[in-house]
Amino acid sequence: MIWTKKQRDKTQDLMQKSGDAGRSLMDDAIERFRRNKAAMGSVYVLIIITLLSVFIPMLWPHGIEDMSWEYISSPPSWGAFHLFGTDGNGRDLFVRVMYGGRVSLTIGVMTTVVALIIGVTYGTVAGYLGGRVDGFMMRIVDIMYAMPLLFLIILLVTVAGPNIYLVFLGIGAVEWLTMARIVRGQTMSVKRKEYVESAVAIGLTTPRIIRRYIVPNVIGPVIVFVTLLIPTNIIVESYLSFLGLGVQEPLTSWGLLISQGATQINTAPWLLVFPATFLAITMFCFNFIGDGLRDALDPRER
Amino acid sequence: MTDPILSVDNLTVRFKSPRGILTAVDGLNFSINAGECVGIVGESGSGKSQTFLNMLGLKAENAEVTGSARFLDEEILNASPHVMRKLRGNQISMIFQDSITGLTPHLKIGRQLDEVLIEHQNMNRADARREVLEMLEVVQIPEAKRRLEMYPHELSGGMRQRIMIAQALLCKPKVLIADEPTTALDVTVQARILYLMRKLKAHTQMAIFMITHDLGVIAGLCDRVIVMYAGRAVEMGTVDDIFYRPQHPYTKALLQSIPRLDSDPSERLLTIPGNPPSLSNIPVGCAFTPRCDFAFDRCRTDRPLLQSAHGTPDNAQCVACHLKDNAA
Amino acid sequence: MIRYIIDRLMGAIPTFLVIITGAFFLMRLAPGGPFDDLADLPPEVLANINQAYNLDKPLLTQYVLFMKNAVTGNLGPSFSYQDYSVSELLAIGLPVSIKLGLTALTIAVIIGAIVGILAALRKNTAFDYTIMGAAMTGVAVPNFVIAPILMLIFGIYLKILPISGWNDGALNHMVLPVTALAIPKIAIIARLMRGNMLEILRSDYIRTARAKGMRESVVITRHALKAAILPLVSYLGPAIAAIMTGSVVIEMIFGLPGVGRYFVYGAINRDYPLVMGIVVFYATAIILLNLLVDILYGVLDPRVRQEKTP
């Protein structure tokens, strides 16, 4: 969604190259990444946001559903510890944004894990078996690429009703395509290596070879792609929640908070501004990290 | 003797990079006369192409070019982009090695050729087309009319290289710089292109620079040779000097690394051990010291200057090596 | 060229069939029927409804009927908009959505391309950094955040533009939705174009063109531009899909009577035929538009156009 096809192809290409790279090339890449201030800064900011969203809901004096009648839609103030103000029900926005972050980040990670499992399995199988099976499996991927994937998720939600686990599954189930392509390419190149041939020669079974030799070798490039899939999925979740098709009250997420804020923008703009800022900062961080990884792996690009 | 058509004095090209300053070309001096062909030999990265690209103002943004280059007694180094543009492709033409990517893929061949004449000679399209067809005959392209309506990917590598040559010759330049024009081609095509170049040389008064790492090309085409190593000229001389009386250990090593028909096939081909130095870290003395079998203390500290090899000023052969002084 | 088009067309047909089939089975395999919530209905009424919607027939018959109807453009009646068929709702919503989406896409392509190319030509200048910084923001901030902010600034503080309603596509009503929809695409296209242009300016044939003494303006317009635009053409497919997706949110925020709004209401009310119909319709539209884009690409790139074998 955030990626153009070209960037995607390039990254795929890159990732395939990086998997083969020797130890020292990988070290070089890490070194280049460390020198990238924007990317390293982003890593720290993300860690801080994660820690805040994990611990603030536990430690903050206001709970996420505590309503206070004295403070209905009140602007940010230090006095009653309503740092980000309160919403129309007198609930503290600060703790809700942190809690929403917890949900959004979790969904971002979980959906990526789902996509990872499907994509890696699919890609290794297609790449390893090759031939007609591979042709057929990749044709399906091509067909799905042509779809507006968000619409498919919405269709899924319509069919089964809004349900947070369904959102997990739905997003993961449609966002694995690129992953499968990367893994397939990588598998095809690993497959021809001597150690795999010798594993075949000594009679190891196919599933065992895939698990023991192929998967460990394709995991490197996949990790890089994961950094780029998490923000995409967070946006997808926010989009769904914004439309009322994702996370439902009393649970909350950045998308849902933004949606509620958007309706009260003329009376209580802070309700939009704070969750939106957190979402945007997170997106920036992931983007910087993604760019950083790309540059680190391909020094030719300035 | 007449004045040289192009003379280069102390040409230096440096690049600013995150890893420090890279010296790609280091104080180069040479000149060329009309009708002469000068070969530039050296390994990749020895600054052969950079010399000419930067001389013609086709430099990278981070390049710094100093020294002097005079074309028909006019200074062209760091001349205004406008002046250089009028010169390039008109008075001084350049052919590049990679003909596959060297032509614009989405423009028809004819268009790419016409535009040179339209730009430099103010011709109209019809006149330009006529000239182009004539030129294609010179470079021996069959069915020229039909080829002009084709796109680069529809032609063979040899054909594209001929188009490149034709394109460079359209304005009858005084200087032609051929940057490895045959490297990407297979041997039979290579031979035909070289034959063509030889004919051109014989029939025009063009001065030709032949940049290559293939000594065979030099032997067949050039009058004089400049041997470059790490951005410096290490030896200069006539083809005979270089092939029969090489003075610099690097030149000798280069010559020994060519397979010969009359050599014993069981004998191993000599290679030069080691790698060329990194351009950001060229040795203080002679750049070839680390790979040189004959290096001694002075080579590590003093940079040898290019000087007459035989002590007589009328002899053109020059070499930059301390062994020369020792022998004397 | 004809061969190329036929090839693409053949590729599109299975895609289309897969979508319809997938959509159908997804809908039928869902737990419970669409009228389960209406549990207090007498059983005979429920049976009547099921009959009306063909839910009482065998699955295979339903599938064939559905397929036949889908191909002929009959997408069935809507559950939640009782008096309307899905096709009628599409006919009401489409003009709005198309006008919105097409305007946004056109603006995004034009502005994105120009800005990206200028940034590449002025690489590493203040202009470049500003544009790329802004583009980064445009990529990072989703349009459902941009839209309310635009409403706040232009509608509520400055009071110069209406913040909701369509008013038959009056210009002042279109400005904010189109802007909010276009901004993320402008950002992506600008980044894409800058990258392409930089890569092309480094290529050998640009060096050749300069070595021929071509004017810089000719080098850029004649030799570089077309090659830089080609990847943009292949991005049009994903861009159209993204505009369609984005348009759903924008229509909701600005309260525009487009297809997107029916889509969301349909999803919230679990109106299967409506949601399904819209998905099938959009998917078909995307396939056809991708086909057009492929053909356009073929027209522009001689290497594709003259490809003898697929």
Whether residues B58 and C210 touch (CB distance < 8 A) is answered with yes
Q: Does C92 touch chain A (CB under 8 A)?
A: no
What is the mean pLDDT of the segment spanning A131-155? 80
Percent of chain B with pLDDT over 90: 9
Nearest CA in chain C to B119: C214
pLDDT in tens, A64-80: 777 776 767 677 776 66
Strand partners, B13: B25, B65
pLDDT of residue C102: 92
pLDDT digits (tens, 9 = 90+) for A20-79: 444 455 677 777 788 888 888 989 999 999 888 888 777 777 777 777 767 676 777 766
Tens of pLDDT, residue by residue over B127-152, are: 999 989 988 888 888 888 899 999 88
* pLDDT on residue C230: 86
Tokens of C213: 């003494």
**Nearest-neighbour CA in chain C from A84: distance (Å):** 17
pLDDT tens digits, C29-81:
655 555 555 555 666 766 766 666 666 677 778 778 777 777 777 777 777 77
Task: Count, in order, helices (H) and strands (E) of chain B.
Answer: 13, 12
Q: Which of C137, C145, C189 to mutate to test the interface with A (most CBs of A within 10 A)?
A: C145
Residue among B102, B119, B151 whose CB faces C302 most closely: B151
Does position A9 have pLDDT exceeding 60, yes or no? no
Residue B85 to chain C, least CA–CA distance (Å): 4
Tens-digit pLDDT profile for residues C134-143: 988 888 888 8
b/e code C156-189 from CB counts within 10 Å (16+ = b): eeeeebbbeebeeeeeebbbbbbbbbbbbbbbbb
Residue A99 in this model has a pLDDT that exceeds 90: no
Whether the full predicted model's pTM is greater than 0.90, yes or no, is no
Q: What is the mean pLDDT of chain C?
A: 82
**Is the separation of the CB atoms in B12 and B67 below 8 Å?**
yes
**pLDDT tops 60 at residue B11:** yes
- Inter-chain residue contact A148 with C27, CB threshold 8 Å: no
| pLDDT tens digits along A162-197 | 677 777 777 887 788 888 888 888 888 777 777 777
Express each pLDDT in B202-221 by its tens digit.
888 888 999 988 888 888 88
Q: Is the peptide bond before A250 cis (omega within 30 degrees of 0)?
A: yes
Chain-chain contact of A1 with C264 (C-beta, under 8 angstroms): no
**H-assigned helices in chain A:** 5-20, 23-35, 37-59, 93-129, 131-145, 149-160, 164-174, 177-191, 194-201, 206-209, 215-242, 254-263, 270-297
The answer to whether the CB atoms of B94 and C211 lie below 8 A apart is: yes
Tell which wins on pLDDT, B10 or A11.
Answer: B10
Residues 6+ apart with CB under 8 A from C23: A155, C276, C279, C280
Q: Which residues of B touch C212 (CB under 8 A)?
A: 88-89, 93, 115-116, 119, 167-168
Q: What 3-state class would DSSP assign to A48?
A: helix
Query: Does residue C79 sit at the A interface (CB-CB below 8 Å)?
Result: no
The answer to whether the Cβ–Cβ distance between A238 and C275 falls below 8 Å is no
Q: Which residue has better confidence, B272 or C102?
A: C102
Whether C288 and C280 have beta carbons less than 8 Å apart is answered as: no
Instruction: Please determine, for residue B33, whether its predicted confidence score (pLDDT) is greater than 60.
Output: yes
- The residue that leads in pLDDT, C78 or B7, is B7
Q: Within the 139-198 window of chain B, which residues sit less than 8 Å (CB to CB) from chain C?
A: 151, 153-154, 164, 167-168
Examine the pLDDT at C308 and tell me if it is beyond 50.
no
Q: How far is CA A259 from CA A272, B246, B312, C155, C166, in A?
A: 8, 81, 89, 18, 21
Chains contacting chain B through 3 or more C-beta pairs under 8 A = C
Chain B partners of C122 at a C-beta cutoff of 8 Å? none
* Predicted local confidence at residue A301, as pLDDT: 41
Asked whether the beta carbons of residue B101 and residue C204 sit closer than 8 angstroms, the reply is: yes
Of A5, A151, A157, the CB nearest to C238: A5
Compare CB distances from C188 to A4, A161, A261 and report the shortest one's residue.
Answer: A4
Inter-chain residue contact C235 with A279, CB threshold 8 Å: no
Are A147 and C286 in contact (CB < 8 Å)? Answer: yes
User: Is 50 exceeded by the pLDDT of residue A15?
Assistant: no
What is the token pair recorded at A206? 């196919």
ipTM: 0.85
Pairwise CA distance, residues A296 & A35, whole Å: 9
Q: Between B and C, how many CB-CB pairs are < 8 A?
A: 77
